[in-house]
Chains A and B, each alone.
Chain A
């Protein structure tokens, strides 16, 4: 793997701090797993995706320069196929969530404001188009034929909302203190501390923010 990227491949993130291609891939893989297991939509890693895609292209060019019967070609091709799968699978699971919970996601996005956007630009356009598409379809097929008081299209009431209380498997990447687990009728709120590298099963909601800031990894 280390061989696929040269050691001299450096990228710069927003703060001007150089990061290696290795790091980009690792971040993407973590984001991919999180997105896969998380009931809610997580902040987009579009910059990393773009960066990785450029990298793939460059690597493909490099690999093509190698001789055809060089055995390294196979290994590199396999690695590229894996990375490509990670990226497409990541973006697909995001898109599936957007399609399923369109109205909810757009609503949350509006509440967060443009600075804390979770959707990439393309995803936002897609979400809006998709909602309009659903509305148009419901109107054409159903709503225009029913009695007038029932003709409203109410996206936030009619669309699905992710179940934030569903359980997830997780691993703490650092020590996390004071995760508050809400009690129900019979029990009181409880605080738990998660040790570094410990694994747990719990509801997504109390740890949502730790997943977003990267201290907890879903597995």
Chain B
């Protein structure tokens, strides 16, 4: 059947449990080959004007054309949905991604990520007079302070009010939410209450 391979690409991406599965170069290449084959057949059939007494060639061309369109659509959907994941990671982790995740990007995706960073940063800067980081304040504030546990030996951290706390591994602190939110996303702190 036509288009099976392109459908498989999408299904596998959808089913994968990983945050970012590796790019299926081989699968994509096979779809390209299928498309090229279909296209060549169509060109040959269209140029062959002699033998088409009952219109079968026309139907064949129509079916192959539809298959080509569908393949294209599936490939674009595959590329787009991977990009969506990249995009969500930008919002989750910030402009610098952990290495193990980035390892599964292919070259155009790395480029896309870098350019997207530029776009987003430019937009954040344009808000208001001094700019605003929209990746902060993601959750509605329930309480000002949250209890957090330090997951790493982070060292000293100066708070907004000038106090300095020492973040040692396994130590717990009561800190203002605004201040520890970025540290939680970076994986330095872990929230333990509410």
A binding-site residues for B, Cβ under 8 Å: 49-50, 53-54, 57, 68, 74, 77-78, 81-82, 84-85, 87-89, 91-92, 95, 99, 120-123, 125-126, 129-130, 133-134, 136-138, 140-143, 145-147, 149-150, 158
Contacts and interface: CB of A to CB of B under 8 A. Distances in A.
B30 to A, nearest CB: 12
A121 B143 CA distance: 34
A146 B39 CA distance: 9
A24 to B, nearest CB: 13
B163 to A, nearest CB: 10
B129 interface: yes
Looking at B75, B123, B161, the one whose CB has the most chain A CB atoms below 10 A away is B123
A113 B134 CA distance: 28
A68 B75 CA distance: 59
Interface string B20-64: 000000001000100110010000000000000000000000000
Contacts of A85: 137, 139-141
A195 B122 CA distance: 44
B116 interface: yes
Contacts of A125: 122-123, 126
Interface string B116-131: 1011101100111110
Nearest to A129: B119
Q: Can you list the 4 inter-chain pairs with the closest CB atoms, starting with the nearest?
A: A122-B126, A147-B39, A53-B128, A81-B141
A133 B76 contact: no
A87 B123 contact: no
A68 B177 CA distance: 18
- Chain B's interface size range is 35 or more
B108 A88 contact: no
B132 A126 contact: no
16 contacts: A53-B130, A53-B132, A74-B144, A82-B140, A91-B132, A92-B134, A95-B123, A121-B126, A122-B122, A122-B127, A137-B112, A138-B80, A142-B72, A142-B75, A145-B32, A146-B35
Looking at A49, A68, A145, the one whose CB has the most chain B CB atoms below 10 A away is A145
B68 interface: yes
Contacts of B118: 129
A133 B87 contact: no
Nearest to B73: A158
A123 B141 CA distance: 26
Contacts of A120: 126
Looking at A89, A122, A136, the one whose CB has the most chain B CB atoms below 10 A away is A122
Given A85-B137, A147-B68, 6 more contacts: A49-B128, A53-B129, A81-B178, A82-B140, A125-B122, A142-B72
